[in-house]
Structure formats: C-alpha cells, structure tokens
Structure 1
Amino acid sequence: MGQVTKPERLTGLDTSFLHLERSGAHMHVASTSVFKGEAPTHAEFRDHIASRLHLVPRFRQKLRFVPFTQGRPVWIDDPHLNLDYHVRQTALPAPGSDEQLRNLAARIFSQQLDRSKPLWELWLVEGLTGDRFAIIGKSHHALVDGVSGVDITTVLFDLDAEPAGAPDKAPPWLASPEPTDVQLLTEAWKERLTSPPEIYRGIRHALRGPRQVLKGVGATSKMVSAGMAAPDTVFNVEIGPHRRFQMTQTDLADLKRVKNAHGGTVNDVILSIVAGGIGRYLRARGHDTEGLELRAMVPVSVRAEEEHGALGNRISAMMAPLPVWCEDPVERLQLMTAEMGDLKSSGQAVGAEILTKLTDFAPSTIASQAARLQPAQRFFNLVVTNVPGPQFPLYVLGRKMESIFPMVPLARRQALCVGIMSYNGQVNFGLIGDYDAMADLDSFALDLEAATKEVIATAPAKTTAKKKSKAKPKKRKAAAASSNGAAPVTAERS
C-alpha cells in the first residue's frame, strides 16, 4: 500500500458553506453557457474534459469528514471517479427555446450535489434553437468562489477555435490512499496546536498596521449592526428547494459610457441598475418604496494575482445600501457611487476577511453551530455578486461560447439573488428566485432591463472610434489545489 499523502483541509470559510447547506438552501454555484454550432457528442465532450482534468486536480477529489467533528473536513482523492456521472448529456424537446433552457437550468440548479462524490457536474444540453447548444456547470461553493470559478472555465475551454498543436493528453493519475480515521483525528489535533500562530501571521501580513486592524474590524462590526436592521421585504420569506432562473444582458461598453459620464465604477452602475429594477418591481406591485433602502451583500475578491487559478474561497463581503426609493437614474447612481466609496475606504471588507480567518481556528463543532445560527439574523435582503469574466472569446471543441450567465445560491429567507458576470464585451445577469416566492421572476427581469436602458440613455451616444486590439489572453495554466497567503482587497470591478 502506498504512503498516505497528508490531505488538504478546508478553510473555515469553505467549511461554512457546508454547514449552511440545508434542503431548502443548497450551497452550489453554477453557470449556463450558450455556444454556437452543432453540439459535440457526449463522448467527445467527456474525453475533452478528461484531457484537462489534471489542470483542476480538485475535480478528482471528494470530501472526507473528521470523526466526531473534531476538525474541518479534508479533500481526498476519489479512487472511484466516474466521469460519466459528472459529465452528463441531455436534450431539449422541440422547439428548444431559451425558456426551455432556463427551466432546465433551474431544475438542475435545484438538485443538491452528492457529498460522497467530487462536488461538480457538467451538463451538455443539445437541441437549442438557432444552431446552438448549452453547457450547464455546477460546483459546490466549498470548492470554488466566483473568481476561481472563472479561472476553471478558462482552463477547461480553449482560447482559439482551432488550438495549435496536438490535443491535450492527460498524464497518468493514481489516487492517493485514503487516510484512516485515526490519521484524520491525529492531524486535526496537531493543527489545533499550530493554527493560531499561522493565522496570526497571515492576518498580520494582510494588514499595513494596527490602525488598519482596528479600522477594518470596527467597520465590520458596524456592517453587522447595520445589516441586522435590513428591512422586511417580499424577498425575505421562507423558501423551498426549487428555483426559477432568468437571463438578461447588456453591453459592457454602454455601462462604461455611463461610468465615464457620471463617475464611479462599472460596479457602481450595475448596483444602481439592480436598485432601479427592484424599485420598479416593488412599485408595480403596490409596495411603498418612499425612503426604502435595501441592503445587498456584495462579495468582493481578496484573491491576489498570483492566486488566480487556485481553488477554494478567497472572498470577503460588503453590505451595500440599495436606494430603491430613488427613481431618478443619475441621482441613484451618484448615491450608489458615494456609498460604495465610503464602504471601500472604511476597510469593511478587510475587517470581514480578518474575522473570516479567525474561523479557521474555531473548533469545528462551534463553527458548525455558529454557521447554522447565522442565517436566522437578517443581515441583508439579497446577494448581488459581480464577477469579471474573460474579455475574449472562449471555445469548446471549436465551438464559440456566445454568452455565460451565473447562477448563485439563495440563503435562508432570501428569495432573490442577482449574479452578474462580464464576458467578451457583455454584462450578463443571471437571476435566481425561489420557485414559489418569485413566481414572477420574469417580470423582475423586465424591470431590470428597463432600469438598464434608463441609465444608459443618460450617457452620451456612442461615437465611432478606432478599434483597440483586445488584450491577449493569458496562457492556460493549471488550477492549483490550494491557495495560501494574504491578498489585497479589490472591490472595484472595472
């Protein structure tokens, strides 16, 4: 029998996504990508994924829980990995409309991932009208955050329609022997004796000095206090396990025109659009929005440049006020820009990352209970996440990806979530709603489109300019099995 390799332990944040999961609130992220051309066969697609699997070694691993919850779970190689289970194929019935694709994606997203296997699935969807097909990818949030998920996409797909050279050939792989319960317990207790100094060093490295510690943690304390005052809305109700899914998109260049005309960032423009769409949705249903300010939990990446390609979660969060009361698009954007500027300078995201790092040392049983108690508090009304995707086309087996729409999980008593991802000059909105509480999610999508057109109309019209050459995409690299070290906080997306 071969020597047992020391398995990698999940971070406190990664583990929290497991603790937060329940039958009505699954903690996986997903995306629906649409491609032009005839779909590859299932065998072609499966073999293509197999040839790239060594670049994302975590896709070959599954969870192993420490006995008696004496430590956070670890990742171990799955010796019984079956790609036919993870790489699946289905077809839409005629006519193969976008609505049918959305309904299928919602059903797939509603199904919990099997924790006894590697926590990911890829669905090849044939029969989409207009000579198109789709790929629906799903991974547990404990496995990836939004940014590292984008990196996985660029690894599995190609940067050219016809890649130069021979097709990738996966090197031989042999699963490491599985650790025993005794070994898992021993390593967990060893870690308890060594973790505090390591965590302290990591936190100290992330900060410039004591003042930033106090400023960041103080801002986070205010964030939680403010978040607990999030108003009661139609979006904050008990939810079930089933989901609805809607997609809408706009041009990144249009949002940049708005940013250039009125100030702020593209992310500020997007948040103001979300606030405008929610305001329209509520007013159309007779709700009084006067003075109403919702609170959005906005994840921000704390992943350093050298950590891109690494799996696991390197995210923090800010609580952003959404001025849904404001009907004027320019005033709403100015309010949003000012609020986000204050949040960034407050160090709120830095403070949140510090507290998150401290959960790495919390005994697993305590962390588990804390994670389950947390959703009972209404810190925010909804999640709005904006992930910058590749600004160049991607291909799979010679077929170009036309668009990609994110799918973000709902937390307890959170019936609506807005995911945004830019790709190749587009800004794509993926809307997830509880099946019963958001039966009119399609109406909200229309309200969001109206708010988008409204704010774009306030910017000067496009002018003909010389086309700039697009930045050359980075060479594909393997997604590392882990990420270490501190990183600067970057909330600005563009």
Structure 2
Amino acid sequence: MPHDTGDPTREGGPMPALDAMMTAAQDRYRSSFTIAVLLTVAGPAPSAAQLRRRAVRCWGGQDRLRLRPVTDPAGRPRRPYRWSAGRDWDPATHVVVTGTAPGQDLRELAADLVGPCLPERPGGPLWQLHLVPALPGAPEGHALLLRAHHALLDMASLGRLARLLCDEGGGGGGGARAGAGGSGPAKGTPTGTAAGTCPALPVLHALHGVARRAGRRAGGRAAPAAGGPGPRVSWVDLPYAVMDTARGALPGTRVTVNDVVLAALTAALRATPQALDGYARLDRVYSGVPVDLRGPADAERLGNVLSGTRLPLPVWSDDPVTRLRAVHRAMRRNKDRRRALGGARLTDAAARLGTWGVHAMSRFMYADPGTITLSCSNARLCDRPLTMDGAPVDSFTGVSFVVPHARFQFLLTTYHRTHTFGVTGDRACGPWLDDLTAAFATEVHRLADLA
C-alpha cells in the first residue's frame, strides 16, 4: 500500500501558506475551490461495495486524506488555520454513487460536482470519489469522478490518486506501486529550494511581475449564492501529435506546450468577443500560470506543491506567430527570473505574518481583478494507457473551479496520447463556452499547419 512521502502536515498542524490561503478564500468569498479529475472506463461498473474496498486498499496509507481543518462550533475554519489529523476516512461517505439526471451529460454532471464548496455540510468530507454507473450513450461504460477542496489536494495529487486506483497503480490486486506518469510538464525546483534558500532577487522579480495592474472588467463577477446555479464546463480533445507539431510554429525555436496553449488561448479569446466583454484595458489581459514545484525527492507527494507566475496575453495581435513569439518570450523571462520561486517565498512570508497576512495574500491572489484576468493550468495526468479491472480507461480529464473575481478558468490535461483543453465558466458564459474551446482547437491546428 503506497504511503505519503515528504508531507510535513500528515499529522496535522499549521496549514502551509497555499492551503491556508485557499481555505480563507473559500470561507470568505463563499466561492467553490473544488477541483476534480474524471475518468471514463470502457467496461461494466463495479458495485459501490467493490469500489469502496478498492479505494481503501489503494488509498488507505495516504495520510493526507485524513486531514481536516480545525473548525469552530458552526463548522467554519478556525483562525489561525490549522490541519487536524482525523480518524481513518469513512468509505461510505467518501465513495458514493452518483447517476446522471435525465438528459444530463458528463460535462453537466462534472460542473454540478465542482460547483459546491467542500465540505458541503459541517463535518462533511473534503474529498469524494463519485461512481457514475452508466454513461449517456455508452451503456457498457462507466465513469469515476474524484473531487476535492483545492486546499487539501492539487491537480497533480488528484492525478496520482486516480492512477493508484487503476490496475497499473495497484488497484487490481497484489503489490501497489507509486503512481505512474508525470504530474505536469511545468516544473520548478524542489520545494526546499522554493521556501528555504531562494535568494532575494527572485522575490523582487515576483513583485515586479505583478506590479502592473490587469485591465478590470466592469462589475467583475459576484460570488455565486449558496445553493444557486453552478458553473458550466466545456472541453475539447486534441491529438498529442498535433500539439507536438504546433511547437515548431515559431521559426528557429521549438517552444513548450505551455507556450502553444497560452498562444492558442489568446486566439480563442479574440475569436470569442463575449469572453472579454466589458474589460476596459485589452492591452492588460493577464493569465495566471500555476507552476508545480515538486522535485525528484517529492514527486509523489500529495498536497499543494505549487507556485505561479503571470504573463500578459497578446490579444492585441491578429498574427498567430506574433502571438506565439510574445507568449514564448514572456514565459522565458518568467523562468529566467525565477518568478515562481520568488512567489513561493513571498506567500510563505505572508503566511508567517499570521491570519492578517493569509487574508491579504488570499485576496490578492484569488479575489483582486487587478492581479489576473484568468488562469490557465497545464497538468500531465498520465503518459501511458490505464485500465480498471482490465477495462481500458478511455479518458482522463481535469475539471477546475472559477476564482471569485473571474468569469472562467482554463485547464489543459494530458493523458497518454491526448490533450484535453477545458474551461469552467459561470452560468452566463454557457452559451459560448463551446465556441471558446472550438476556437482554441482551431488555433492549435493552425499553428501546426505553420510549423
């Protein structure tokens, strides 16, 4: 049975900076910080009892899954924010059966499940595995959706847990192995470097990187009312080979997948006028870019091992090569100046100021429209095909939440030979989210044709 490695909070204690900031943001703004991974399996569904036994076998040694925030009598997180190492988790409440409603597809179900704040009730679970026993239009298949409060787990952690549940990760019986595949292509350095020995210069670069205010949207986005309509979700699949070819579209340079994603996102925003409707400064459209700081020593660690940078999106340009070049230079500059490492040290310093510092940084990161306009993540969930009880896992997709001030959030996930570009938006975005994802795919193909 695999166990947590390198997690200093596995026995409880003060929340690390990022955990505390996301806990504070959800509590203060009542806006969901729920993320999820969705697997579709081309085989008959297990019973609830079978899936619970499998989850206990595969995840019983993961101490991170036992953590709970210390709360007041009303169930709200107590300040200063701390983790408590609770009892072993209850399979009956953490592994549940959830069917689709008549006429509902998997995207709508995923949106309904990332919409609520976790826990949904005082003392309720911070994470859940949902078994969808029948898929619309595919009576022989089923789906599994693993969702969690982002303060507990990041997308790489969800990917690792899902891999552990599969046959290749130990879910099929016998000896369990550590999760296969990488947790994401955008890597920083080990967390010890980020938090402990990072020199002052990257911190100054991190501050300079967020000094210029993003263009604000008139009115912003109000946090959804509790129990009100949830978000909408759209996604589109792209062959791995097409994205790989698009990396050669910039003459003389082979850019990264992140560069292609951000350039294609810029084109999609231009092609979908409603996406930036109301923004006063289109020359100041900024995307946040999370960076995974796991190193070789803690590659399998669960939790939030993240920092981030931001960069301007060149929505002012109508030329695909110019857009790609601008994004590539901005990403290169962020990496050369080690802004992700500086940002990690900055958030740690803010957390050491206590609750005031946590709240100030939380508002700046998640609820200030002058910081970022949107966020775009890239998570490599698994590089090779997986099976569940011998049946192939057809798809493996991440689903994100929408930060309080934004209208939508973007996420590229990679499973085997397929990239999936997804967007989560508020209900007002529903009529045109599919147009946005389609425009993204069109631009990736266009860049591939230019390579």
Q: CA deviation at 1:428?
A: 1.0
Q: Is the 8 A contact 1:60 1:118 kept in 2?
A: no
Q: Tell me the TM-score normalized by structure 2.
A: 0.82
The answer as to whether partners of 1:33 and 1:402 remain within 8 angstroms in 2 is: yes
Q: CA deviation at 1:239?
A: 4.3
Where does residue 281 of structure 1 map in the other structure? 272
TM-superposed CA distance for 1:159, in Å, is 1.5
Partners of 2:264 and 2:363 in 1: how far apart? 32
- The aligned counterpart of 1:188 is none
Q: Quote the Cα distance in structure 1 between the aligned partners of 2:109 and 2:194.
A: 43
For residue 126 of structure 1, report the CA deviation from its aligned partner: 2.2
For 1:394 and 1:65, the matched residues in 2 are separated by 39
From 144, 151, 163, the equivalent of 1:135 is: 144
Over 3 Å counting, the alpha-carbon distance change for 1:72 and 1:303 in structure 2 is: same
Check whether the contact 2:110–2:233 (CA below 8 A) recurs between aligned residues: yes
- How far apart are the structure 2 equivalents of 1:70 and 1:289? 37
Which residue does the alignment assign to 1:340? Answer: 331
Deviation of the 1:255 alpha carbon: 1.3
Does the CA contact (< 8 Å) of 1:64 and 1:76 recur in 2? no
Contact preservation (8 Å) 1:33, 1:401:
yes
* Displacement after TM superposition at 1:111 (Å): 1.6
Report deviation, 1:20.
0.4
Q: Which stretch shows the higher mean deviation, 390-399 or 134-143? A: 390-399
Q: CA–CA distance in 2 between the matches of 1:335 and 1:369? A: 31
Deviation string, structure 1 residues 331-380 (Cα, Å, up to 9, x no partner):
22122111211111122112101112213422235423553466245201
Alignment partner of 1:256 is 2:244: yes
2:306 to 303, 315, 324: 315
| Alpha-carbon distance change, 234 to 417 in structure 1, aligned in 2, over 3 angstroms | farther
Give the 5 Å matches for 1:384-399.
384-399=376-391
Which of 413, 436, 448 aligns to 1:444? It is 436
- 2:85 equivalent to 1:76: yes
CA offset at residue 323 of structure 1? 1.1
Q: Which residue of structure 1 lines up, in the alignment, with residue 158 of structure 2? A: 149
Offset at residue 31 of structure 1 (A): 1.9
1:271 maps to amino acid: L
- Report how far residue 203 of structure 1 moved: 6.0
Q: Deviations over 1:39-94 (max 9, x none)?
A: 22222112111211223222233222489956331231236x32121111122356
Partner residue in 1 for 2:100: 92
CA gap of 1:119–1:284, structure 2 versus 1, over 3 A, is closer
Cα distance, 1:18 vs. partner?
0.5
RMSD of aligned C-alpha atoms? 3.0
Provide the rounded CA distance (Å) in 1 between the counterparts of 2:195 and 2:141. Answer: 51
2:206 aligned with 1:220: yes
* 2:35 corresponds to which of 19, 25, 29: 29
The SS at the match of 1:339 is helix
SS at match of 1:159: helix
Inter-CA distance 392–55: structure 2 relative to 1 (3 Å threshold): farther
SS across alignment from 1:144: coil
Output the CA distance in 1 between the equivalents of 2:175 and 2:194. 43
Q: Taking structure 1 as the reference length, what is the TM-score of the superposition?
A: 0.76
Aligned residue for 2:186? Answer: none
**In structure 1, C-alpha distance between the alignment counterparts of 2:325 and 2:85, rounded to whole Å:** 49
How many residue pairs are counted as aligned between the two chains?
411
- For residue 230 of structure 1, what is the aligned residue in structure 2? 214
Matches of 1:32 and 1:235, distance apart in 2:
33
Kept after mapping to 1: 8 A contact 2:153/2:302: yes
Q: 2:182 aligns to what?
A: none
Could you tell me how far apart the structure 1 residues matched to 2:222 and 2:164 are? 38
Query: Would the alpha carbon gap of residues 453 and 283 (structure 1) be closer, same or farther in structure 2, given more than 3 Å must change?
Result: farther
Tell whether the 8 Å contact from 1:30 to 1:407 is kept in structure 2 after alignment.
Answer: yes
Corresponding residue number in structure 1 for 2:184: none
1:239–1:412 Cα contact (<8 Å) kept: yes
Equivalence for 2:185: none
- Corresponding residue SS for 1:323: coil
Greater C-alpha Rg? 1
Q: Mark the runs of 5 or more structure 2 residues left unpaired by the alignment.
A: 1-9, 177-191
The reply on whether 1:61 has 2:67 as its aligned counterpart is: yes
CA distance in 2: counterparts of 1:392 and 1:304, whole angstroms: 21
Matching of residue 371 in structure 1 with residue 362 in structure 2: yes
Q: State whether residues 69 and 364 of structure 1, in contact with CA within 8 Å, keep that contact through their aligned partners in structure 2.
A: no
> Which residue of the partner structure matches residue 479 of structure 1?
none
Q: Please tell me the residue identity of whatever aligns with 2:318.
A: E
Q: Does the 8 Å contact 2:70/2:81 carry over to 1?
A: no
Match of 2:394 in 1: 402
Deviations 1:9-42 (A, max 9, x none): 3202111100000465211211222221222222
Deviates more, 1:414-423 or 1:124-133: 124-133
- 391-400 or 69-78: which moved more? 69-78
Write the letter of the residue equivalent to 2:69: L
Compared CA separation, residues 14 and 290, structure 1 to 2 (3 A): closer
With over 3 angstroms needed to count, the CA separation of the structure-2 counterparts of 1:236 and 1:395, relative to structure 1, is farther
Distance 2:449 2:193 in 1: 46
**Per-residue CA shift, 1:390-418, capped at 9, x if unaligned?**
10112222222111221122112201100
